[in-house]
Amino acid sequence: MAININNLQNSPQVKTDKVEQNAQRQQATVQQNANQAAAQKQDSVSITPQAQQFSKLTEKASNSSGIDQEKVDKIRQAITDGKYKVNVEQLARRIVQFESELFGKK
């Protein structure tokens, strides 16, 4: 029985080379596809006018102290001049309203 030594040596090497070539081709194809996809995709973000307005209002609110300094100055000046008068009926009504809301009585 004769054994062909040439086919034994060449056969595994040829298969290995072909497998490596196929792997390299596949890897190159995947890389090209990824590059094309990256070139085609351009992410963008757009902010709606409502979101822009909300952002501006939020910034304005965070920068303000919550105190109407002009109103405080007017009241302070009225007290200093003796011109500030308290409406006792309105004050009493609001105290009663506050307490009824506080204690759940209506």
State the pLDDT at residue 15. Answer: 58
State the pLDDT at residue 106. Answer: 57
The residue ranges of the chain whose pLDDT is under 70 are: 1-16, 37-39, 105-106
Tokens of 75: 């009241």
In-domain check, residue 86: yes
30: closest CA among 42, 20, 38, 18?
Answer: 38
In-domain check, residue 99: yes
Amino acid at 104: G
> What is the rounded distance in angstroms from the CA atom of residue 33 to the CA atom of residue 25?
12
> What is the rounded distance in angstroms from the CA atom of residue 33 to the CA atom of residue 77?
75
Q: Which domain holds residue 79?
A: 68-106
Q: How many domains does the chain have?
A: 1
In-domain check, residue 82: yes
In-domain check, residue 77: yes
In-domain check, residue 98: yes
